[in-house]
């Protein structure tokens, strides 16, 4: 369900976070995905989650 490419994953998640979810935790719970796995995958490409902006940068 989630894109394999980390840049596509960040884009996908940011769109979902912007349009549908108030937080990464809410997104992960609703999509039934492991939050730490997502954070780790994106951290490997220097993305970090900013909870104030509710997006990966």
pLDDT in tens, 12-51: 999 999 999 999 999 999 999 999 999 999 999 999 999 9
Q: What pLDDT sits at residue 3?
A: 97
Q: What pLDDT sits at residue 7?
A: 97
Q: What pLDDT sits at residue 24?
A: 98
Q: What pLDDT sits at residue 1?
A: 81
Inform me whether the pLDDT recorded for 5 exceeds 90: yes
Task: Look at residues 37, 36, 29 and name the one whose alpha carbon lies nearest to residue 4.
Answer: 37
Rg (CA), the chain: 10
Check the CA dihedral 27-50-48-37 and report its sign: negative
């Amino acid at each position: 369900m989630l894109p394999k490419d980390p840049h596509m994953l960040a884009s996908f998640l940011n769109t979902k976070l912007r349009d549908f979810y108030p937080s990464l935790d809410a997104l992960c719970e609703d999509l039934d995905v492991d939050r730490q796995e997502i954070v780790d995958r994106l951290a490997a490409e220097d993305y970090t989650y900013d909870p104030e902006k509710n997006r990966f940068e």
